[in-house]
Amino acid sequence: MQLPSFVDLRPIGRCNLSCPFCFGPRHEVPSMTRETALRIASVLQQNSVRGVVVSGGEPTLLPYLAELSAELRSAPPSETPMKLVLSTNGLAPLPVMERVLPHLSWVALPLESADETEHRQLRTGAAPHRDRVLRLLREIRQHHRYVRVKLGTVVTRRNTAGASRVLDLIEDDKWLPDVWKIYQMSETSYGADNGDWLSVEEMEFEEVVARCRRTAADRGVRLEVYRNSTRSGSYFFIDPDCTVVVIDEKGERRLGDFFSLLAGESPAADVVLAERNVGNFMKTYPEL
């Protein structure tokens, strides 16, 4: 099996939030061991993977995250290190983040709504989540300028009013993200459990996107949009139990164990389309 250029590594399902739209692995799934995670990092290196997004669950809960990040970024002197993105909910204490930040190219942080009630309905399990994300954003902008920031906003039926005003929470232009990405909520994992009260119709989603475009343009922030209709063929996830998960027209498809697939022929891996995989990553985490 040939690996795609960009891989989403999800070594942990556990999280200190319980967002009802979460599309990650189930929280109770045991985490990947340190040894396995480092072995995967080394395989990704050897196979010239160009970029990895480490997510979960909440990856900052992994005791070996800094070591894994360093391993992913280590490359022979003649080669360019891969791009490394940490997708985090922003709740980790600063000392934890400071061990990881030096290895990162990008950090992805979430903010769902300028309206506090809307935000609390969607980022459940810890308070005050929004303030802690904003504090971390300021800290990164002030002291870690070499790390780019992507802000993500998942649009559900519950935050159609406040999603487009998320940038209003960032008063000073100095702290604005490099990219703001608007996600259409997808009915995957916990999102499937809660689709009846969270899913947003196409037309309503496009209205939110149009409003976001105006606010992004006003503040000079680059806007990207994720639509469920275009996700097929873009992603190659490696889950905590080492299962490779891809997305095709019908939804998530579990292909099998990463190491077994790597050793054999797997036509199913063709579900990842090079153009979509590269396009999705490079638009979300562009060269700036």
Site size with ligand SF4, rule: CB under 6 A: 10
- For residue 27, what are its two tokens? 């929280």
Question: For residues 153 and 163, is the Cβ–Cβ distance under 8 A?
Answer: yes
Which CB sits closer to ligand SF4, 61 or 212? 61
Residues 107-166, interacting with ligand SF4 (CB under 6 A): none
Output b/e per residue, 262-275; b: 16+ Cβ within 10 A.
beeebebbebbeee
**CB half-sphere exposure, 160, CA atoms < 13 A:** 16
Distance CA 135, CA 36 (A): 33
17 binds ligand SF4 (CB under 6 A): yes
18 binds ligand SF4 (CB under 6 A): yes
Residue carrying structure tokens 């490099």: 178
Residue in 7, 19, 84, 151 binding ligand SF4, rule: CB under 6 A: 19
Beta bridge partners of 108: 87, 150
Tell me the window of 41-49, 51-59, 98-106, 213-221 that interacts with ligand SF4 (CB under 6 A).
Answer: 51-59
Minimum CB distance to ligand SF4, residue 48 (Å): 28
Coil, helix or strand at residue 72: helix
Cα 160 to Cα 204, 207, 242: the distances in Å are 8, 9, 36
Tell me the window of 17-25, 76-84, 101-109, 228-236 that interacts with ligand SF4 (CB under 6 A).
Answer: 17-25
191 binds ligand SF4 (CB under 6 A): no
Per-position x/- string for 55-94, each x denoting binding to ligand SF4 as judged by CB under 6 A, each - no binding: -xxx------------------------------x-----
Minimum CB distance to ligand SF4, residue 93 (Å): 16
Minimum CB distance to ligand SF4, residue 57 (Å): 5
Minimum CB distance to ligand SF4, residue 254 (Å): 18
Which CB sits closer to ligand SF4, 93 or 264? 93
Residue carrying structure tokens 């164990």: 257
Distance CA 157, CA 224 (A): 20
Beta bridge partners of 179: 150, 222
22 binds ligand SF4 (CB under 6 A): yes
- For residue 146, what are its two tokens? 């070499």
Residue positions counted in the chain: 288
Tell me the window of 1-9, 54-62, 165-173, 279-287 that interacts with ligand SF4 (CB under 6 A).
Answer: 54-62
> How is the chain split among helix, strand and coil, in percent rounded to 5?
40, 20, 40
Cα 180 to Cα 77, 146, 165, 174: the distances in Å are 33, 18, 12, 15
Minimum CB distance to ligand SF4, residue 263 (Å): 30
15 binds ligand SF4 (CB under 6 A): yes
Residue in 4, 11, 24, 152 binding ligand SF4, rule: CB under 6 A: 24
The one-character DSSP state at 3 is P
Tell me the window of 13-21, 74-82, 158-166, 225-233 that interacts with ligand SF4 (CB under 6 A).
Answer: 13-21
Residues near ligand SF4 (CB under 6 A) are 15, 17-19, 22, 24, 56-58, 89
